[in-house]
A and B are shown apart, each in its own frame.
Chain A
């Protein structure tokens, strides 16, 4: 088990290294110079003011989404639950977009974005809760209601975009999810939030593990399931909102990372919650490195200079394939 954690940490370091090297505007050898204490002022600026915060934000957001997904799936006992399909992410996006559109928030005031995303995420989750009610543990029901809620929230987001197109460029980033242009300010806002809620989620590891056993068993074993579930959902919404406010709606990370975490670390959430954080960080950071590399390769092509591949597009494409695999082998047995 410890060996698996060590391997994952090593993978995080490798992905982080790749993320630092992969970007445009600086060659790997120049990067090496800067690390060694040399390099020009511009190169130092690129590394320390642009690439490093971007990397940290990617790691933090990935960890948030991984933990949020695992908490959601455990609390709802639903392997197909995830922030994206339970209305949390679309709600958070709507909140962020609305706040930006109305001029309350923007790149200058990221805190307002976090708050707005949180409110939106809560609203999205509440909407699903109202619709699905007691059938929230039923994967098919939740999926259907989740699609409904996401469609409605997506429609509202589109309306806001049409009415207030002023900051369209930056707003669209939230829809796809990107780490482009994240600076220290974003990181300073993300890490305390992420740390606090991840710690809260970990403290809930015992109740969440019991919730995975089903409500009957959990109740008989002495867990007040309703309260535990509400606390868990609060954690999941807060973590998702933090991630959305930082990097936008990264598709499928929160849905698929928990499956990887459970496969690697087992159903004991004391271990698989930190595992999900690490795997989420690896996935988002790795995808970001791949997206940057692809962007760099595209830049070499004629007329490709203006193209930037957002990391969200990459996670969504890869995630869709993995989701198919998960759905096909989702267990449906009793014991």
Chain B
């Protein structure tokens, strides 16, 4: 197992001419940590992930991967350190699962290395990690939404990076497959010491699987800490704009949300113990 790598986001501003997205974000992700990013649509979660993956350049501030300033790393060196699972991706007619996952090896092999056939053990491991090795030769076009999500996760894993960023990895998936993907991520993180940051919309998943929750609101960090501290009725109201109550799982102790609870709006004590 290689040494895990941390992330430091320092005073990052980013925006489009008519719309600021991030207004001074500071965030330190410790090596090997599993962090969930939550917030409303358009609050800058995906933008923060894309900045961390080097797909966007901050207008102000900087992003460090380990000790390296992202702005000084080449495209290829960045892709060797950090992999990003995109929210969606365009169709690639005619490509098979194995072939798509193999594209994740680009940073490791380079343009000429991609020409060689070579049976890449990392590709095989990535296919096995998400349990899709049996359909390696199927065309990507013929897969269902959930299957494609897993294939794209395999593609990100094929980059063999120490930092894994996931932008809504559970979109399009039914509950069974949502948990499947999240458990895979948790397991790989433990086995390989990956540092994981994922955007999640389901607070229940964030509270259950993440060690740390970072809530964004209007381009700033609104709350940051372990789920038990961060997930409160106040967070639901301020960050997610829903009235709700928060309880505890009787055995596990992690917070459980009851959004839109009929009693929540009546001004009752919304912490249920």
Interface residues of A in 199-234 (CB under 8 A from B): 202-207, 209-210, 212-214, 216-217, 219-224, 228
Compute how far the CA of A333 lies from the CA of B84 in the bound complex, rounded to whole angstroms: 21
> Given A206-B114, A210-B106, A335-B148, do A220 and B55 touch, yes or no (CB 8 Å)?
yes
A-B contact count (CB 8 A): 110
Interface centre among A205, A213, A221, A268 (most CB of B within 10 A): A221
Chain A's nearest CB lies how many Å from the CB of B132?
14
Chain A's nearest CB lies how many Å from the CB of B71?
15
Inter-chain contacts of A79 with B (CB < 8 A): 93
Q: Does any Cβ of A come within 8 Å of B79's Cβ?
A: yes
Inter-chain contacts of A148 with B (CB < 8 A): none
Question: Pick the contact of A216 from B76, B86, B91, B92 — CB < 8 Å?
Answer: B86
Compute how far the CA of A332 lies from the CA of B148 in the bound complex, rounded to whole angstroms: 16
Query: In this complex, what residue of B is CB-closest to A330?
Result: B93
Compute how far the CA of A333 lies from the CA of B91 in the bound complex, rounded to whole angstroms: 6
Inter-chain contacts of B114 with A (CB < 8 A): 205-207, 209, 270
Inter-chain contacts of A331 with B (CB < 8 A): 91, 93, 141
A219 near B55: Cβ-Cβ < 8 Å: yes
A263 near B94: Cβ-Cβ < 8 Å: yes
Compute how far the CA of A206 lies from the CA of B111 in the bound complex, rounded to whole angstroms: 5
Compute how far the CA of A204 lies from the CA of B112 in the bound complex, rounded to whole angstroms: 8
Interface residues of A in 52-88 (CB under 8 A from B): 77, 79
Query: In this complex, what residue of A is CB-closest to B75?
Result: A224
A334 near B89: Cβ-Cβ < 8 Å: yes
Q: Does any Cβ of B come within 8 Å of A166's Cβ?
A: no
Q: Does any Cβ of A come within 8 Å of B255's Cβ?
A: no
Query: In this complex, what residue of A is CB-closest to B140?
Result: A335
> Given A220-B53, A223-B75, A267-B95, do A203 and B103 touch, yes or no (CB 8 Å)?
no
B148 near A221: Cβ-Cβ < 8 Å: no
Question: Pick the contact of B112 from A206, A228, A335 — CB < 8 Å?
Answer: A206
Q: Does any Cβ of B come within 8 Å of A262's Cβ?
A: yes
17 pairs, CB–CB < 8 Å, chain A vs chain B: A77-B90, A203-B115, A206-B106, A206-B109, A206-B112, A206-B115, A207-B114, A210-B103, A213-B90, A216-B86, A219-B75, A222-B78, A266-B96, A270-B115, A331-B93, A334-B90, A335-B140
A214 near B95: Cβ-Cβ < 8 Å: no
Q: Does any Cβ of A come within 8 Å of B159's Cβ?
A: yes
A213 near B113: Cβ-Cβ < 8 Å: no
A222 near B99: Cβ-Cβ < 8 Å: no
Which 9 residue pairs across A and B have the least CB separation, nearest first? A222-B79, A206-B114, A222-B107, A267-B94, A267-B95, A214-B90, A222-B76, A335-B148, A224-B75
Inter-chain contacts of A333 with B (CB < 8 A): 91, 141
Inter-chain contacts of A204 with B (CB < 8 A): 111
Interface centre among A206, A209, A263 (most CB of B within 10 A): A206
B55 near A217: Cβ-Cβ < 8 Å: no
Q: Does any Cβ of A come within 8 Å of B145's Cβ?
A: yes
Q: Does any Cβ of A come within 8 Å of B219's Cβ?
A: no
Inter-chain contacts of A202 with B (CB < 8 A): 115
Chain B's nearest CB lies how many Å from the CB of A261?
10
Inter-chain contacts of A217 with B (CB < 8 A): 86, 89, 103, 155
Chain B's nearest CB lies how many Å from the CB of A123?
28
Compute how far the CA of A333 lies from the CA of B110 in the bound complex, rounded to whole angstroms: 29
Compute how far the CA of A213 lies from the CA of B89 in the bound complex, rounded to whole angstroms: 8
Chain A's nearest CB lies how many Å from the CB of B176?
20
A267 near B75: Cβ-Cβ < 8 Å: no
Compute how far the CA of A311 lies from the CA of B88 in the bound complex, rounded to whole angstroms: 44
Inter-chain contacts of B90 with A (CB < 8 A): 77, 213-214, 334-335
Query: In this complex, what residue of B is CB-closest to A205?
Result: B115
Compute how far the CA of A221 lies from the CA of B77 in the bound complex, rounded to whole angstroms: 10
> Given A203-B115, A262-B93, do A335 and B145 touch, yes or no (CB 8 Å)?
yes
Compute how far the CA of A79 lies from the CA of B92 in the bound complex, rounded to whole angstroms: 11
Chain B's nearest CB lies how many Å from the CB of A52?
33
> Given A268-B99, A270-B115, A335-B143, do A222 and B106 touch, yes or no (CB 8 Å)?
yes
> Given A217-B86, A221-B104, do A267 and B92 touch, yes or no (CB 8 Å)?
yes
A221 near B103: Cβ-Cβ < 8 Å: yes
Interface centre among A77, A223, A333, A335 (most CB of B within 10 A): A335
Inter-chain contacts of A212 with B (CB < 8 A): 92, 95
Query: In this complex, what residue of B is CB-closest to A261?
Result: B94
Query: In this complex, what residue of B is CB-closest to A272?
Result: B94
Inter-chain contacts of B96 with A (CB < 8 A): 266
Q: Does any Cβ of A come within 8 Å of B80's Cβ?
A: yes
Interface residues of A in 230-277 (CB under 8 A from B): 262-263, 266-268, 270
